[in-house]
Structure 1
Amino acid sequence: MSFRGKRKDGEGLASDENEDHAPPNKVSKISSAVDSDDSDDVVVCEISKNRRVSVRNWNGKIWVDIREFYVKDGKQLPGKKGISLSLDQV
């Protein structure tokens, strides 16, 4: 039987990566050139070749985005496999 909906018990989490792994490969901080306010800062961590975690402030809330990326025409673009969570949901 197929299960669709919210999972509360941790089923379906990626088990191919251990929690004891080395620190993230890449961390960068992107900020708006026009506005030097901290509300526009974005922190991006690359957790594998095609997966990234980003933390950003959007509409007055802090969001954590975990997403897979793909390469098209030499650019890395976000795929539809991923999730955005507010701090309440994390």
Structure 2
Amino acid sequence: MSGKGKRKENDHASDDSEGHAPPNKTAKKDSDDPDSIVVCEISKNRRVSVRNWQGKIVVDIREFYQKDGKQLPGKKGISLTMDQWNVLRDHIEEIDEAVNENS
């Protein structure tokens, strides 16, 4: 068996018998996350922010959308870990040169 696919019901029973219930998923309430610092708005619906995600600091470049008068994060975007951010920052001059050559 490849291991892909749905779990069988008896697998869930064995998890519960050990006293470990599966974790509940919670929806994010809105984009006004107190741990998030909006650094800049790239355009009307795109932002760069720094936030704490699962105990790690990330640089988040993301599209947002309006729903019920609130700005909510969309699927389109990228979250860079500090290691990834440092690599990108260290190569910014090379990126600028490539952009200038191709524009």
Which of structures 1 and 2 has the bigger CA Rg? 2
TM-score after normalising by structure 2: 0.43
More helix by share: 2
More strand by share: 1
